[in-house]
Amino acid sequence: MRIDIVSVMPELLTSPFQHSIMKRAQEKGLLTVVVHNLRDYGLGKHAQLDDYQYGGGAGMVMMAEPIANCIDDLKKERKYDQVIYMTPDGDRLDQAQCNHLSLFKNLIILCGHYKGIDERIREHYITKEISIGDYVLSGGELAAAVLVDALGRLLPGVLNDETSALFDSFQDNLLAPPVYTRPAEFRGWPVPEVLLSGNFKAIEDWRMEKSIERTKARRPKLLKSDES
């Protein structure tokens, strides 16, 4: 999968993909992330990217032309499956959407800033609008990093144990069960005995029971529907 991220703050997007699983995904050639500085497409000698909004009101709006030119340039190089705009009024991201998006080959992610982008870009370029939750961030970059991470780990071959993404919280609308590591007793607090029993059937049953218990307690709506 190749992901091109268009941003006015590309510095915010350097570190998130240079560590751990995202680093390995790129080293293995399974994921390519390229960040583009929208400033390179700014207008005039100040490389202007935003302007006052028509009709008045506080806050600047990202102009259509730099964004259109940048996306046009990318589209000259390859065909894109989706042009995603990160915005708090987009569809709320969930695991089902991540699974769906992880199947695409080429994605563009546009990070919003200021009051947002000129509506004509949303109408004519954007194919999907995504929010990562009902709260407002100062820009779309951190949200884009969340999306890329969530997609990257789903690509076949990225995780060491291929099955481990399947056991993630949410993958079957259940939260993950509790996990323990050594020592078997810490400050008088023991690890549940079944986990030390070597009885794999009993361990599987225990984990399923704990998953359901935890989901009921913390996210009951997950059990009733596809809602969170």
Please, which of residues 134-173 interact with ligand 6GU by CB under 6 A? Answer: 135-137, 139-140, 143
Select from 34, 156, 143, 43 the least CA-distant residue to 93: 143
Q: Of 2 and 115, which CB lies nearer to ligand 6GU in the complex structure?
A: 115
Please, what is the angle between helix 141-152 and helix 20-27, to 10°? 60
| Closest listed residue to residue 139, CA positions, set 175, 103, 174, 115 | 115
Q: From 51-59, 65-73, 85-93, 120-128, give the range in contact with ligand 6GU by CB under 6 A.
A: 85-93
Taking the least distance from each CB to ligand 6GU, the nearer of 58 and 136 is 136
Residue 116 lies near ligand 6GU (rule: CB under 6 A)? no
Residue 179, CB half-sphere, CA atoms under 13 Å: how many?
6
Choose one: 69-77, 86-94, 101-109, 187-195; the region binding ligand 6GU (CB under 6 A). Answer: 86-94
- Chain centroid to Cα 222, Å, comes to 20
Q: Decide: 207 and 169 in contact? Cβ < 8 Å.
A: no
In the complex, the smallest distance separating the C-beta of residue 118 from ligand 6GU, rounded to whole angstroms, is: 16
Between residues 1 and 146, which has the closer beta carbon with respect to ligand 6GU? 146
Closest distance to ligand 6GU from the beta carbon of 7 (Å): 12
Distance CA 210, CA 195 (A): 12
| Minimum CB distance to ligand 6GU smaller for 143 or for 165 | 143
Q: How far apart are CA 94 and CA 147, in angstroms?
A: 10
Is 86 a binding residue for ligand 6GU by CB under 6 A? The answer is yes
What Cα–Cα distance (Å) separates residue 189 from each residue in 3, 178, 183, 195, 199? 45, 14, 10, 14, 22
Q: Is 9 in the site for ligand 6GU (CB under 6 A)?
A: no
The reply on whether position 87 binds ligand 6GU by CB under 6 A is yes
Least CB distance to ligand 6GU at residue 196 (A): 42
Distances (CA, A) of 119 to 54, 70, 116, 204: 12, 16, 8, 51
Contact, 109 vs 3, CB < 8 A? yes
Work out whether 195 is an interface residue with ligand 6GU (CB under 6 A).
no
Binding site for ligand 6GU (CB under 6 A): 86-88, 112, 130-133, 135-137, 139-140, 143
